[in-house]
Structure 1
Amino acid sequence: MVAIEGGAVVLALNSGSSSLKYGLYAVESEPVLLVGGTIETAEHHGDDHARFFDTIETALHSGPTPTVIGHRIVHGGPHRDAHCRIDAAVMADLEAACAFAPLHGPASLALIRAAEIRYPGVPQVACFDTAFHAGMPDVAKTLPIAKEYLAGGVRRYGFHGLSCESIVYQLGDKIPARLVIAHLGNGASVTAVRDGRSIDTSMGLTPSGGVMMATRTGDLDPGILLYLLREAGLDQDSLATLVDHRSGMAGVSGLSGDMRVLRAAATDDADLAIRMFERSVCKQIAAMIVSLGGVDTLVLTGGIGENDAATGQAIRAGLAWVAGLDIRIMPSQEDARIAFHAAALG
């Protein structure tokens, strides 16, 4: 790697539930992508982060040396709702927040520690997916449980905030007053945005709620979990595996949570899983329209939202009753927003 004159050079690391996206950005006024790629992490084990950096450095070998590293952090817990530089106190909060996002939190922590070893002395910045939703009103943020649990941080946090922020940023001064953003990928959520600010969203305390997803249940009658505890003998680990890994489209189809695989399979169960996903998305969009008191524009983004035309057609058909709805497909630019914030805070 080589040095670069002026501005920041940000290595943006976007760790998801099934992949690790990386991008090297030169940032002066706007992030400019120099080189990037994706590492599929589903088949790797938790101790492979050094190998991830070997892969990344091979791709970046002729690029400039990072001056700051930015991380997408899915859940910062109750005490972290603004992007910040990572220090010991932040790491302690991120460790505690793993209780809220066990699918994502431990992997992010391991990635931060591996980056510290590979790039000693380079500042690291946490960019929280929950930050975009931090200002939601109490009617959206509060969950309907006994009040004593609310003080411990049990509330609606919302996720995919960097993706939502990137859509708002791309729309610029042309942003409509009433916007719904549907981020549809391996994880999926729908957010109501009024005048550029999140006022409601489908995911709740954890990234497991809301829309039915690839392998996650989405919203579920809580009595089902109680029934499985009592009658099927499932323990907490078995329930966690069921909710996050063996449900959603994978659970219904018995085949896969990957929309491409399900479209190609064309079995009855695959077709049912797809139709259930499409219906779930439409229902959550309708709920966000209620929160907004109407809607001007719906944006579809994320891997499915951007690339699966049949899903887009099904959503258009399901929302044909909404008069005058402008539906757009826009790219999620989470990594560029990570680069922007990391350059500002690093």
Structure 2
Amino acid sequence: MSLPPYYPDNEKPCVLTLNAGSSSIKFSLFELDATAPALVGQIDGIGAKPHIKAKDGAGNKLDDVDLDITGSQERQHHQALLYLVKWLRSHGEGWKAKGVGHRVVHGGEKYAAPVLLTPDIRRELASFVSLAPLHQPHNLDGIDAIGEILPDVPQIACFDTAFHRSQPVLAQTFALPRALTDEGVKRYGFHGLSYEFIARSLPAHTDRADGRVAVAHLGNGSSMAAMVGRKSVASTMGFTAVDGLMMGTRTGNLDPGVVLYLLDEKKMDAAAITKLLYKQSGLLGVSGISQDMRELLASDHPHAKEAVDLFCYRISRELGSLAAAAGGLDVLVFTAGIGEHAAPVREQVCAQAGWLGIKLDREANNAPSKLPRCISAPDSAVEVLVLPTDEEWMIAHHTQRLLGL
């Protein structure tokens, strides 16, 4: 579908970043070489009641309205992208997309770096749908829709798995028959764009950046990774993004026997188990109240406290595992929504990790949300930092670099 031309007399070249999920599309617009977006927003409620929220780089609201989009979820997804492109043109100052960068969850074993999309690569990425069934199809939908709406604009795929391809073979291998391993059933790790941003920015905040670092990306989706020399050596997420830490609605690490029990004793099918593991568990399932850490921390219900305690316990357990994989620990970084803003979670995790020599500066930890900052005590053996992550900037950076903009 063709669209009206951009404003010819006031053109501003830019890069559009997209993170297309099943019911939402997150977007950012970066002018070339900018360190912050000119605007950022999200279309959510796709498949139900689509709604757009957007603000400019200064945080001023640009829009917050429901969209008149109907039909199947697939049609709504496509129409939402079409609306987004038109919206950008009507609200912008002559912005013209010179490239579109996509977050693609799975790049398999082959893609260890962002790539310029071609029809052949698009088809190959479709073969990874079985490795990320809840994410990959929607990432590809976003690519296809932009290809139709903006056919002359090059697109870049940035993979959430790519950063972890530096891990040793043993760190990626399950104890399964080799035939399954050879088919690609192994640990991939996710949230790679976030870890890459932290690795890139770390030298500005510590002289231990190239040492043994554990990063806790804590949000509705949570994971941790160990880095040595700012390269991934281990991660908590494995074959899928449901592994590892307890999350907002995902179980995290789970005895495979539980799945067999659900199949045999509860007679649940794959769809019902998938819904349970991904949508009904985690903080929401344990608390029975909410998946939102802010609500749970504010609640005096014992189930809310138990959910928070379990979340912190799982982080502490995995931190010990990552320290073992890295051969020790020099720096611990908290990032993402919970990591950056939930001081009680950071305090509890650090208290449980005292055996690693971590000592927290409680005043620094509880200070207003000034980021980045160090929250460890001067005599702490491990430096503890709170650093903001920026996956969108990472995508924009790769898009500009690959396109030579």
Counterpart in 1 of 2:62?
A: none
Q: CA–CA distance in 1 between the matches of 2:383 and 2:22?
A: 31
1:256 alignment partner, one of 282, 286, 290 = 290
More off after superposition, 74-83 vs 273-282: 74-83
Q: CA deviation at 1:284?
A: 0.9
Counterpart in 2 of 1:40?
A: 44
Counterpart in 1 of 2:350?
A: 316
Structure 2: any 5+ residue segments left out of the alignment? 1-5, 51-72, 358-380
Counterpart in 2 of 1:237?
A: 271
Aligned AA (1:257): Q
Any conservation in 2 of the 1:77–1:93 contact (CA below 8 Å)? no
Q: CA deviation at 1:255?
A: 2.5
2:92 alignment partner, one of 62, 76, 81 = 62
Name the SS for the 2:216 alignment partner: strand
Aligned AA (2:231): R
Higher relative contact order (CA 8 A, sep 6+): 1
**Relative to structure 1, is the Cα distance of residues 130 and 3 closer, same or farther in structure 2, using a 3 angstrom cutoff?**
farther
Q: TM-score, normalised by structure 1?
A: 0.93
**Relative to structure 1, is the Cα distance of residues 320 and 6 closer, same or farther in structure 2, using a 3 angstrom cutoff?**
farther
Any conservation in 2 of the 1:255–1:270 contact (CA below 8 Å)? yes
**Relative to structure 1, is the Cα distance of residues 341 and 3 closer, same or farther in structure 2, using a 3 angstrom cutoff?**
farther
Counterpart in 2 of 1:113?
A: 144
**Relative to structure 1, is the Cα distance of residues 4 and 203 closer, same or farther in structure 2, using a 3 angstrom cutoff?**
farther
Q: CA–CA distance in 2 between the matches of 1:227 and 1:119?
A: 48
Are 1:304 and 2:338 counterparts? yes
Any conservation in 2 of the 1:25–1:35 contact (CA below 8 Å)? yes
More off after superposition, 239-248 vs 2-11: 2-11
**Relative to structure 1, is the Cα distance of residues 292 and 9 closer, same or farther in structure 2, using a 3 angstrom cutoff?**
same
Q: CA–CA distance in 1 between the matches of 2:243 and 2:341?
A: 23
**Relative to structure 1, is the Cα distance of residues 243 and 165 closer, same or farther in structure 2, using a 3 angstrom cutoff?**
same
Rg larger for: 2
Q: CA deviation at 1:79?
A: 3.2
2:14 alignment partner, one of 9, 14, 17 = 9
Counterpart in 1 of 2:126?
A: 95
Counterpart in 2 of 1:341?
A: 398
1:169 alignment partner, one of 186, 200, 208 = 200
Structure 1: any 5+ residue segments left out of the alignment? none
Q: CA deviation at 1:32?
A: 4.4
> Cα RMSD (Å) of the superposition?
2.2
Aligned-residue sequence identity (percent) comes to 36
Are 1:282 and 2:316 counterparts? yes
**Relative to structure 1, is the Cα distance of residues 228 and 159 closer, same or farther in structure 2, using a 3 angstrom cutoff?**
same
More off after superposition, 16-25 vs 103-112: 16-25
Name the SS for the 1:67 alignment partner: strand
Name the SS for the 1:33 alignment partner: coil
Q: CA–CA distance in 1 between the matches of 2:171 and 2:161?
A: 14
Q: CA–CA distance in 2 between the matches of 1:220 and 1:246?
A: 14
**Relative to structure 1, is the Cα distance of residues 11 and 73 closer, same or farther in structure 2, using a 3 angstrom cutoff?**
same
Q: TM-score, normalised by structure 2?
A: 0.80
Q: CA deviation at 1:327?
A: 1.0
More off after superposition, 251-260 vs 40-49: 40-49
2:225 alignment partner, one of 187, 191, 196 = 191
Counterpart in 2 of 1:152?
A: 183
Counterpart in 2 of 1:220?
A: 254
